[in-house]
Amino acid sequence: MTETTTDTDTGAGTRLDTGTDTVLAELRGSVAVLTVNRPEVRNALNAGVLDGIETALDTLERREDVGAVVLTGAGEKAFVAGADISQLIGYTLRDGLRARMQRLYDRIQDLELPTIAAVNGFALGGGNELAMSCDIRVAAAGARFGLPETNLGILPGAGGTQRLSRLVGLGRAQEMILTGRIIDAEEALRIGLVTSVVPAEELMDTALATAGTILAKGPLAVRLAKLVVRNGAETDQRTGLLLERLAQSLLYAADEKAEGANAFLEKRPARFRDEP
């Protein structure tokens, strides 16, 4: 992946080459912003989009200057309005077993870096599943969410049957998946599918500010906290508490614990990262 410098609405950023125009990647300070860029088809997911996301993740995982990732969609109508139906027609049993989109979303969920979905419009099917694979979901007031795959004679196969119930509860997940009902941002907030709802014009600033807040914390503490919360939720409480204890032990032995404690006692902001 190569880099070129470009100007953006929020100032100068570093453009990262994803190998395709259907996914744009830009480094804004220590925050990588990935944008699905097919607004003419409401950012529908196709093989090119998946390739672009994978290429971006390959680079972000190698970089030392990235502390968080924001995912969003181009335009004002859609975050990602689902998979490209024209490609779906040709899918076979082999494609189902390959489960490329599910595996990609697993990779996003397991990314060491904190991830924030800035949902700027429709998040349907694979788009909703993409948002759910992120750690935090910030929605514009006009966003819409749903898993309408049963209308097409399939089910939400990129993690939707599993992640939705873990976020909103089994009963609500079953109702949404079986009926294919689309909900608005306020209902998504009420049931726990998203973490906040803001005016559309404030969406990206809110997502970047959230990333900035996380970046002010201890980097190792953030990574271990994400690991423990995610994996602890998949096991029994006793095992989760063991993970918590082991992670805390590692942090007690790390340098950033001393910086955090000293900064608190000295009534100053902690400096966990080198100053730019």
Ramachandran category for residue 159: left, alpha or beta (phi over 0 → left; psi -120 to 50 → alpha): left
Q: Is 129 a catalytic residue?
A: yes
Catalytic residue (one of 129, 234, 259, 266): 129
> Per the residue annotation, which of 26, 40, 61, 149 is the catalytic one?
149
Phi and psi at 137, nearest 5°, equal -125, 115
Rounded distance between C-alpha atoms, residue 148 and residue 168, angstroms: 17
Cα distances (angstroms) measured from residue 202 to each of 152, 179, 196, 216: 34, 32, 12, 21
Q: Which residues are catalytic?
A: 129, 149
